Amino acid sequence: MSLNEPYDPDNIFAKIVRGEMGCVKLFETDDILAFMDVFPQSKGHCLVIHKKAEATNLFDIDDSALAELIGAVRKVAGGVKAGLKPDGVRIVQFNGAPAGQTVFHLHFHIIPIYEGETLGRHGDGGPAAAETLEPVAAAIRAAL
Ligand code: 5GP
């Protein structure tokens, strides 16, 4: 998908927003949703999206919605930091398939980094069961 493709309302994250697909939620407002990545690259890998912006990538969102989104990214990353005590936190965002984007609804990855642990490869891991994700999500939620 090129950088200029129109927004596809049938993408996976749009289905999650509409409740047509499940997710392990961390934080939700009228505009923002944070949830666990189902193919985590590390323990606590999560995603933050704007629910209403209908943005395929960073270039499609207006400044005020982006400000709201990045504020939520920092809030959730703070929960990851306090709840999971990683050694570092990586924030990643991909635009366009050639850059590595696989879901075409703008999102930020929050990826905790633990010293000595190898990070899983982007888009190349196995799915985590909800039972595995839930206790990690609970630790993040409790720290938000
Ligand atoms: P991208 O490659 O577009 O930057 O990131 C998409 C992310 O969404 C990947 O890290 C992938 O693991 C995650 N993902 C793909 N499908 C699903 C899903 O159905 N549920 C959840 N929670 N995450 C997903």
Residue 57 CA to residue 26 CA, distance in Å, equals: 22
Q: Which long-range contacts (CB under 8 A, 24 or more apart) does 56-59 make?
A: 56/1, 56/5, 56/6, 56/7, 56/8, 56/104, 56/105, 56/106, 57/3, 57/95, 57/96, 57/101, 57/104, 57/106, 58/93, 58/95, 58/106, 59/3, 59/95
pLDDT digits (tens, 9 = 90+) for 81-125: 999 999 999 999 999 999 999 999 999 999 999 999 999 888 777
Distance of CA 37 from the midpoint of ligand 1 (Å): 6
Query: pTM to 2 decimals?
Result: 0.97
User: What distance in angstroms lies between residue 82's CA and the mean position of ligand 1's atoms?
Assistant: 24
pLDDT of residue 121: 85
Q: Which two tokens stand for residue 64?
A: 């005020």
> Is domain 12-143 classified as CATH 3.30.428.10?
yes
Protein residues whose CB sits closer than 6 Å to any atom of ligand 1:
12, 23, 35-39, 94, 100-103, 123
